[in-house]
Structure 1
Amino acid sequence: MAILHQNKQITEKIHPAEKIGYGMGDAASHIVFDSCVAILAYFYTDIYGLSPAVMGTMFLAVRLLDAFTDPIMGAIADNTITKWGRFRPYLLLISIPFAVSTILVYTVPNYGDTGKIIFAVVTYIFMTLMYTAINIPYCSLGAAITADPKENMSLQSYRFAIAPIGGALGTAAILPLADFLSPGDRAAGIQLAMTIFGAIGCLMFIFCFMFTKERVQPLKEENINILRDLKVLMQNDQWKILAVYNFTMLVSLVVRAGMILYYVTYILNKGTDTASYFLLGTTIFSMIGSLIAKPFTDKFCKIQLSIWNNILLGVAGLLFFIIPGDYWILALVLYLFLQMLQGANGPLQWSMITDANNYGEWKTGRRITGMNVAANIFMIKLGVAVGGALIGWGLALFGFQSSVGGEPVKQTQATLNGILIIFTVLPAILYCITGLYLKIKRYDLTDGKVESIIHDLEHGRFANKGNTTIEPEVTFK
């Protein structure tokens, strides 16, 4: 049975330089993640030339592969033994293939319609695999740096304050840089821009590798066994709650963020310059939201904060319905406010994921950080896939006409109404479900309970041995 080394190092204070180093890894990941959320659907329909229905189906079908690859990668990472740790080596090994995949997915080949669909599917699969291979070890690294809930919340706040730097490259910077690098040929420009950003992502991962340290280590007594670890994971009732929470929140996020270029282009009737304000503002205000999350969690229960933050994200988004198309600045202000709220969701979400990982070890006696993170990332990526599919299928349902080369096609009034509905009503419903689900299912890993769990783990005490210092059931606050 795997247990933690019994030393105080797992809860020591983490230097800000290491927190910045850890955040750089997520900045690299967000070059791809944010571009997939905000740019890729628009790229495939209005530049690459795929139909919305084909694009949406591809997003969902390819992501289903993660159901197999994510737990495999999690188990591999859990059982990796090197002088650099279990998770850090993958930041070096996969960084270059990861960069190459970002270039290929934003390449428009000179093929026929069938050939372009095949190329899109193959390159999207490759990018998905490389993202899995580097992002699961990266996300697992956070739980290996510290087990202290306060320090982990601080670590996640740094992470999500720095991550938007990468997000800005993959969203706000990509279209202006593409037009600068290749005037009149946006497809070629985007490929050149992603080549530059891929190289930057490699350097960010190397920086993360150099400035982080794995402190929380299990004592291994068993070999790799994916089915066993999945069975252990399913004993974690708090993880099950977070799995649904992660899924619904990511569907909500992707639908709103993925529709922003359609909203700006077809509802506000604005071009690249205005769209860049929305995308760049997303970076800045997400960063602000990440930074303010930590002070709020010092004063309030992070579970309650997450519940009400998601409900507000849903309800406030309905205000887009009453903003006239000519008032684009007012729409921008509202969107940036929502992005600030979403930015606060990041550290709250990943702090809870780490708490659930520690709770799972306390409950079962086995630490499966890689598998725990892999399962959460699968739910997150499934949310991204379903969100992207809903965008594609929704646009097809309302008769959206794709264009080639980035020039907007005049849409019918029914299509314009559909764009507004997808952008506002659908995420509003999903965000409210996200918040209410935590309350209804009574997710109860408060800071006090987690601190007691960490105390037990430091002294080799587990719930399944009946020698704990806390009661197994804690009333939800």
Structure 2
Amino acid sequence: MSKLKQSITYAFGAFGHDAFYAALTTYFITFVTSQLLETSNGGQVNTWLIGVITTLVVTIRIIEIFFDPFLGALVDNTHTRWGKFKPWIMGGAVISSIALVLIFSNFFGLTASHPMVYLVLFVIVFVIADFSYSVLDVAFWGLLPSLSLDSDSRASISSIARFGSTLGGTGVAVVLVPLNVWFSHVFAHTQGNEQTRAGWLGFAVVIAALSLIGALLTCWGTQEGKDDIRKNTQKTSFRDIFRIIGKNDQLMWTALAYLLFAFGFSTTNSMVVYYFRYVLGKPESYSLVGVVEAVLGILAVISFPTLQRLVTRKRVYLYSVAVEVVGYILFIFSGHSVVLALVATGICYVAQPLVFLVVLNTISDCVEYGQLKLGTRNESVTLTVRPLIDKLSGSFSTAIVSFAAVTAGMTGAATAADISNTGVAEFKGFMLYMPLVLIVISAIVFALKVTLTESKHDEIVKKLKARLEPETQASGDVSAAEPASDATASQTASVTTDSKSNAADESAEKNR
């Protein structure tokens, strides 16, 4: 299988994948607070329904998050002629695409005529949408470590994939208003820049189609690797899932650092659309945010493999957070300037893809780290931690955004002139100050606790190959219980010894 073909088709899948995620997490709540509950005279049914829907979304996501590791085990235990990832990628894409279109509707007017019936149907469809997307998410990113065992190769593949996901995620911001307005003209017969429920529904159809096409291309163009290290697997029982995750200390520290960062960034990112509409009074300028983020995000993604080789992953993370802090400070002092707000948004966003890639590659390397430490390989269970964190942070940020918008009066037909100075100040507190603190703490955790460097991972791969190849030559069968246990004991001892040399490895990595 051509490496270029794999990288490109995987990137197309990431494009549709992140466009879908942006629509589901960032823009669905905007749809709820702006157009979903509008009556024919432009009013709202009432704000309590906004609160109920927001609470349901957050609750469903938090509950569903605890099922993600089990989905990872389900994928790890899958064996088909198409591999273990593709059936779940394709199935999840089909179901989630249909469900996305449905939740961006008002179920034929039920929000006004029968709000309780609407809520029941909404819960059912949203659970289906979120669960099927989770299956797709776990399988899609779980595929990454199966494509290569080399850190540099993974960095290249993940960078190209992130190139696609950056275009997908930021492209939504570019096309949101134009698509909404165009579909509003076609189906609601509006004029000017008015946005309607019909416009949002058309937008959802486009995003669902992109997600489905991306999944098809990924399944067609990628191929799982076959080697002795990937054969070192056992059936993952549900009772072993949290042991696999919990005993992988590097996975847990990386997850904590990323949770703090993702919560802060997703909160700010979700509020930018409100900032342009209700603070700056320039909703039409929001499309420029997507353009700025796309251009800078692509440049950041392209530079990642080179930056990783020059300064190491850990420094890329820390430098990126430093850039992020500069962006937040500029945003705080941007006042009512659209230009400064765009510059601040761009600076904040240019760092995010780099942090994502550092975390994605570190967690991918945690697959081999956990394999050496625990004696068996678990790709999907390990990789499920990253999307789990994205959804957890997205759930928290959804609650924050909805609360801040309702509190400040940024709902329905309100304009910038209707928002008080106190409302703006409170909104900025949630949008800028709280996220800034979380992101700084994230950098501290990553700097002090994450020690799985690229050179450390290379050593782990060499040890795994040295131990597994003689076993494969002696017997084509990998033992089930006792040999794995013996291997676990010696491997755990090795990792314990290895961890003592982390400081030396870090020093060598910095001087490399």
Same fold (TM over 0.5): yes
Aligned to 1:33: 21
The match for 1:363 among 363, 369, 373 is 373
User: Matches of 2:20 and 2:430 in 1, distance apart?
Assistant: 23
Answer yes or no: is the 8 Å Cα contact 2:233–2:378 preserved in 1: no
State the SS of the aligned residue for 2:174: coil
Which structure has greater helix proportion? 2
Matches within 5 A, 1:315-334: 315-325=326-336, 327-334=337-344
Following superposition, the deviation at residue 61 of structure 1 comes to: 0.5
Amino acid at match of 1:387: S
Find out whether 1:412 has 2:414 as its counterpart.
no
Matches within 5 A, 1:230-309: 230-271=242-283, 273-309=284-320
Following superposition, the deviation at residue 14 of structure 1 comes to: 6.9
Answer yes or no: is the 8 Å Cα contact 2:268–2:432 preserved in 1: yes
Equivalent pairs counted in the alignment come to: 460
Answer yes or no: is the 8 Å Cα contact 1:35–1:171 preserved in 2: no
Answer yes or no: is the 8 Å Cα contact 2:267–2:435 preserved in 1: yes
Following superposition, the deviation at residue 15 of structure 1 comes to: 1.9
Answer yes or no: is the 8 Å Cα contact 1:143–1:354 preserved in 2: yes
Following superposition, the deviation at residue 37 of structure 1 comes to: 4.2
Following superposition, the deviation at residue 31 of structure 1 comes to: 1.5
Following superposition, the deviation at residue 169 of structure 1 comes to: 4.7
Answer yes or no: is the 8 Å Cα contact 1:38–1:261 preserved in 2: no
Q: Is the deviation greater in 387-396 or in 153-162?
A: 387-396
State the SS of the aligned residue for 1:108: coil
Answer yes or no: is the 8 Å Cα contact 1:60–1:385 preserved in 2: yes
Q: CA RMSD in A?
A: 2.4
Unmatched 5+ stretches in structure 1: 1-12
Find out whether 1:219 has 2:207 as its counterpart.
no
User: Matches of 2:242 and 2:383 in 1, distance apart?
Assistant: 12
Change (3 A) 1:263 1:309: same
Amino acid at match of 1:132: S
State the SS of the aligned residue for 2:231: coil
Find out whether 1:433 has 2:441 as its counterpart.
yes
Aligned to 1:5: none
Following superposition, the deviation at residue 221 of structure 1 comes to: 6.6
The match for 2:61 among 39, 60, 63 is 63
Following superposition, the deviation at residue 55 of structure 1 comes to: 4.7
Answer yes or no: is the 8 Å Cα contact 1:178–1:193 preserved in 2: yes
User: Matches of 1:153 and 1:238 in 2, distance apart?
Assistant: 18
Amino acid at match of 1:65: I
Which is higher, the Rg of structure 1 or of structure 2? 2
Aligned to 2:484: none
Q: Is the deviation greater in 45-54 or in 333-342?
A: 45-54
Find out whether 1:349 has 2:352 as its counterpart.
no
User: Matches of 2:116 and 2:291 in 1, distance apart?
Assistant: 35
Matches within 5 A, 1:133-152: 133-152=135-154
Change (3 A) 1:96 1:37: closer
User: Matches of 2:326 and 2:308 in 1, distance apart?
Assistant: 22
Amino acid at match of 1:27: F
User: Matches of 2:6 and 2:121 in 1, distance apart?
Assistant: 40
Following superposition, the deviation at residue 371 of structure 1 comes to: 0.9
Answer 1 or 2: higher relative contact order, Cα 8 Å, separation at least 6: 1
Answer yes or no: is the 8 Å Cα contact 1:245–1:438 preserved in 2: yes
User: Matches of 2:365 and 2:217 in 1, distance apart?
Assistant: 26
Aligned to 1:104: 102
Q: TM-score, normalised by structure 2?
A: 0.84
User: Matches of 2:163 and 2:389 in 1, distance apart?
Assistant: 23
Answer yes or no: is the 8 Å Cα contact 1:395–1:415 preserved in 2: no
Percent of aligned pairs with the same amino acid: 16
Matches within 5 A, 1:165-184: 165-183=167-185, 184=190
Aligned to 1:8: none
Following superposition, the deviation at residue 116 of structure 1 comes to: 4.1
Change (3 A) 1:37 1:430: farther
Amino acid at match of 1:307: L
Amino acid at match of 1:156: S
Task: Deviation per CA, 1:217-248: give whole Å up to 9, x if none.
Answer: 64377434111132122111111102212211
User: Matches of 2:63 and 2:460 in 1, distance apart?
Assistant: 35
Aligned to 1:449: 456
Amino acid at match of 1:61: T
Amino acid at match of 1:414: T
